[in-house]
Structure 1
Amino acid sequence: MTSVDSHQRADAPQSDRQSVAQRLLDSSETLSYDPVTEVDWETPLDTSYHGASPEWSTLYGTSYWKEMTPERQRELTRQEAASVASTGIWFEMILQQMVLRDFYAKDPTDPAFQWALTEIADECRHSIMFARGAAKLRAPAYRPRRMVVELGRLFKTVAFGEAAYAAILVAEEVLDVMQRDWMRDERVAPFVRTVNNIHVVEESRHMKFAREETKERLEGAGRLRKQINALVVAIASYFIVTSMVNKKVYANAGLDTKRALREAAANQHHKSMLRSSCAGLMEFLNSAGLLTKASMWFYKRANLI
């Protein structure tokens, strides 16, 4: 990412990239939320509500789902929503470090620099919001497997350029589609709907920035570079998406974990939901030259294509 030339006049016309960043800054000033005051944290959890739209449950449509009582179904969606939130926190912490590293020692008068700090501030608030939301859903601290945590540690340290921003985009786009469903669903707990609405509104700006940065970084990139980064992004995407629902949610919802895992793995409905949520994303990756034969293997394994 190029910063503003230190000798450039302060009143010089902004580049397209700077103009996008300025529009995002203006939008952030106009429409942003404070989860501390916007979300109803005080009202006790009403267990007559789901934690997520039932259709997004990993077991929806299976024989196990049909055997479950409505109370058990609602508890499962609450645990799954909490797991998704916990995974979101994990990746948002990776995102913050990559963005902060990318803008280290660059021109602070550049609107892109200021937007990067604004995005990091948003992500800090989102992580706290997700943490409080998971606690209110009466869920434990779900974390990815140790191997995935360590791979994330490596990725946030070495990923740069289009690999970093495209991976950010994948995580945000998948969450965005499911949360748009949840925030409109009156079966979902009101405070969860508010959390999702805040995240959808503010993440839309983050996704715009990630798309612009990915495209800019790829300008003039050769075939080998695209092939390598396409694979890096696909591998990162695989581990992000497959970590969203922790296997411990089933036991915490009072289910037989082995049976639940078996039926979830064979659940074509859930796989279809994931694929449909990523149609636009895959189109963008393809147009950017980041959807290769090797990368598609990982996207198919993650049921994203």
Structure 2
Amino acid sequence: MTATVSPAGSAAGETAPDVSSRDVGANEVSQRLLASAARLSRNAMTEVDWDAPMDPAQYGCSPEWSTLYGTDYWAELTVEQQVTLTRHEFASIMNVGIWFEMILQEMVIRDQYLGNYHDPEFQFALTEVADECRHSIMFAKASAKMVGKSYHPSKKVGRLGKMFMRTSKDEVAYAGILVAEEILDVFQRGCMRDERVLPFIREINEIHVLEESRHMKFAREEVREAMKKVGPVRRQCSAFYIAAAAGFIFTSLVRPQAYADAGLDVERAVREAKSNEHFASMVRAGCAHLMEFLDEAGLLTKPAARIYRKVNML
């Protein structure tokens, strides 16, 4: 059976966080998110069958979400090569996801340092950090099972990530968190109901999408709160900084080494992936909701929009 691939919107059967669009204020939203986390949090260590054999015919992600799907290179690959490629691509995406989840954990902890421990906002922030720790372990185990190796961003991007982690606060920190989470969410929503994909990958996608929906709601509320005191100059600077970070994250998701490990010609694969209009259109559709929010928050300025267009997020 082939699942319908939907690049945007809620997946069938997903349970949304118990948060109304009418909720305002970080503590009000956090109180509802804490209740949602208590009811709906899941544990991949016990829920996923990590010892189950992998069907050699099943993909690492929906073929339509491969960076090469629709290109001449994709058409030349055997089905077996296509399966191998998607497994390495998604392993790379998960590993780079671990990298930026570690960044966001430090930013959240720093933001809540000496916070009001009795406030729901503080308590949900730590709940989010705990979730992200579990997600990172989940991604590490999944990539180890699927391809048996790790992928990392380039040294340059790794250094820039440290700088972003140490200098970002308020609207930059939380919008950066939101953008990173939304980017990964786009890929996972497109694959989590597709029966062509390995069952354990579908399951971790479902777990991550469910729990990240709470994190994204929290980040959006933190951005709204922070933007209340932001002037026009700071708004322009913040918008550009967030977009620049998003560009580096997005272009780092599928590492060139993933193509090499899948047995492909790296130079050709990178070249065709960059010019792949099918993939670009899937990403733009998936990021539409994120762009709407950034525009609403005043963070989709013209310079920022140019960056998002360059990486096909807008």
- TM-score, L = length of structure 2: 0.91
Counterpart among 213, 224, 231 of residue 222 in structure 2: 213
Q: Is the 8 A contact 1:169 1:207 kept in 2?
A: yes
Residues 1:98 and 2:131 aligned together: no
Higher relative contact order (CA 8 A, sep 6+): 2
CA-CA distance at 1:148 after TM superposition: 0.2
The one-letter code matched in structure 1 to 2:92 is S
Q: Is the 8 A contact 1:97 1:156 kept in 2?
A: yes
Stretches of 4+ aligned residues off by more than 6 angstroms: none
Counterpart among 236, 242, 245 of residue 236 in structure 1: 245
Aligned partners of 1:263 and 1:106: how far apart in 2? 48
* Partner SS, residue 184 of structure 1: coil
The 1:15–1:181 alpha-carbon spacing in structure 2 relative to 1, beyond 3 Å, is: closer
Q: How many residues align?
A: 292
| Partner residue in 2 for 1:60 | 69
1:62-101 map, 5 Å = 62-101=71-110
Aligned partners of 1:295 and 1:65: how far apart in 2? 32
| Partner residue in 2 for 1:258 | 267
Counterpart among 114, 119, 136 of residue 127 in structure 1: 136
Aligned partners of 1:256 and 1:17: how far apart in 2? 49
Q: Deviations over 1:264-289 (max 9, x none)?
A: 11111111111111111111101111
1:174-185 map, 5 Å = 174-185=183-194
Q: Give the superposed CA RMSD.
A: 1.1
The one-letter code matched in structure 2 to 1:152 is G
| Partner residue in 2 for 1:168 | 177
| Partner residue in 2 for 1:23 | 32
Aligned partners of 2:179 and 2:44: how far apart in 1? 24
Counterpart among 301, 310, 314 of residue 301 in structure 1: 310
* Partner SS, residue 210 of structure 1: helix
CA-CA distance at 1:303 after TM superposition: 1.1
Q: Which of 253-262 and 51-60 deviates more? A: 253-262
The one-letter code matched in structure 1 to 2:115 is K
Aligned partners of 2:309 and 2:54: how far apart in 1? 37
| Partner residue in 1 for 2:119 | 110
Q: Which of 142-151 and 293-302 deviates more? A: 293-302
Q: Is the 8 A contact 2:26 2:218 kept in 1?
A: no
Aligned partners of 2:123 and 2:93: how far apart in 1? 29
CA-CA distance at 1:220 after TM superposition: 3.2
Aligned partners of 1:262 and 1:200: how far apart in 2? 30
| Partner residue in 2 for 1:287 | 296
Aligned partners of 2:141 and 2:37: how far apart in 1? 23
Aligned partners of 1:135 and 1:157: how far apart in 2? 30
Aligned partners of 2:91 and 2:187: how far apart in 1? 14
* Partner SS, residue 112 of structure 1: helix
Q: Deviations over 1:34-67 (max 9, x none)?
A: 1111111011222210000100101000011011
Q: Which of 149-158 and 134-143 deviates more? A: 134-143
Aligned partners of 2:58 and 2:305: how far apart in 1? 37
Counterpart among 41, 49, 60 of residue 51 in structure 1: 60
* Structure 2 gap ranges (5+): 1-22
Which of the two has higher C-alpha Rg?
1
The 1:98–1:276 alpha-carbon spacing in structure 2 relative to 1, beyond 3 Å, is: same
The one-letter code matched in structure 1 to 2:159 is E
Q: Is the 8 A contact 1:174 1:278 kept in 2?
A: yes
Q: Is the 8 A contact 1:274 1:303 kept in 2?
A: yes
CA-CA distance at 1:180 after TM superposition: 1.2
Q: Is the 8 A contact 1:82 1:139 kept in 2?
A: no
Aligned partners of 2:220 and 2:125: how far apart in 1? 14
